[in-house]
Amino acid sequence: MDVRSFIKKQEAALKRYRRLYTILDFLGTAIILYLLLFYIHVDEVFQHLPSFEVRAGTSYDILGMDIAFGTVALAIIAIFLSLLITFLRHLRDHKEKAIMLIEQQYPELSERLRTAYDNAGVENLIVSDLVSTVSSGISKISSSTLLIKGKLIFGLIIILVSSTTVVYVVDNDVRTDAVTPEDIAELIEDLPFVGGNDDTNDGLSEFGSEEDEEVSESDSNMTQETDIIVYDGVDVDLTLSGSSAEGFVNEENATDEDVDFEKSSAYETSVISAQAYYEDFPEGYESIIKSYFEELANA
């Protein structure tokens, strides 16, 4: 068996195993965080926050299941925190190479496997004999020897136990009384980047008050007395009247003007008015019509 092909195969298997450990660690951490957040009423905090109170009572159809907004938000928070924790935990992992792990598990290959791997391209009697001996030894080694079964089993147990606990806690609504949603909402609103809108509002109110003062000062200046100026030998009084800044005059104070006003019509009244009674009846029907109305009058 080729030594270099064997090492490449073991390195690929080792990367898959490490990726599996990380996924198990992430899932276990996310489930535990979700359990803790649910236990301290974090999913009920959103209805007390102005930014999320509109969505607090909504739900989403996910895979045919009606899931509340609080549950979705809680899962997103747990996933985000789990990603952060998992990244920090595995940031400085000592990733030992597969060739070193194999030599640790198989002492008979110690130093010899690395030597054969480094000199695989060299052709001489000593190297060929070493490569032949190492190749016969590694042919019996499986990639599963690099799998740390204890870590895999521990991760699966954590996921199984935490998932069972979450199902029980959610179904029975097990929560703590030491912390309330109102307490958490107040704590969130007290954060600098969340409750920092008061200063802005104060600044706007101060700015508005300054503008009001400037407007009032300008209005008061309009009604102040001014000096009489001389223009082309004529004295001109620039004093404004007292009602110059009062706007529209109230209707009660307005003067009534007697103005003769005759309403006009779009049509002549004589043209559009109908006669109530005609003296001239159609010829040949006078007697019939008169007798009809006489009978109505006598009835």
pLDDT for position 205:
47
CB 175 within 8 A of CB 41: yes
Residues facing residue 230 across a β-bridge: 235
pLDDT for position 238:
60
Is 222 part of a structural domain of the chain? Answer: no
175, 197, 219: which is the final residue of a domain? 197
Residues 156 and 280 in one domain: no
CB 174 within 8 A of CB 36: no
Residues facing residue 234 across a β-bridge: 231
pLDDT for position 295:
79
What does the DSSP 8-state code read for residue 103?
H
Q: Vertex 11, ends 9 and 17: CA angle to 5°? A: 105
pLDDT tens by residue, 136-167: 888 888 888 899 999 999 999 999 999 999 99
Beta strands in the chain (DSSP E): 59-62, 65-68, 229-231, 234-236
Quote the number of domains for the chain: 2
> Under DSSP, is residue 189 helix (H, G, I), strand (E, B) or coil?
helix
Show pLDDT as tens, one digit a residue, over the chain (299 residues).
688 888 899 999 999 999 999 999 999 999 999 999 999 888 888 777 777 777 777 777 888 778 888 888 899 999 999 999 999 998 888 888 988 998 888 888 888 888 888 887 787 888 888 888 888 888 888 888 899 999 999 999 999 999 999 999 999 988 888 877 777 777 777 777 555 444 444 444 454 555 555 545 544 444 455 556 655 666 666 665 555 555 555 555 555 555 555 555 554 545 444 445 555 656 666 777 778 778 788 76
Is 232 part of a structural domain of the chain? Answer: no
Dihedrals phi, psi of 218, to nearest 5 degrees: -65, -35
197, 214, 246: which is the final residue of a domain? 197
Q: Domain limits at 122?
A: 3-197
pTM for the predicted model, two decimal places: 0.60
Residues 273 and 182 in one domain: no
Is 243 part of a structural domain of the chain? Answer: no
Residues 190 and 77 in one domain: yes
Residues 50 and 161 in one domain: yes
The one-letter code for the residue type at 48 is H
170, 197, 224: which is the final residue of a domain? 197
Rg for the chain (alpha carbons), in Å? 48
pLDDT for position 75:
93
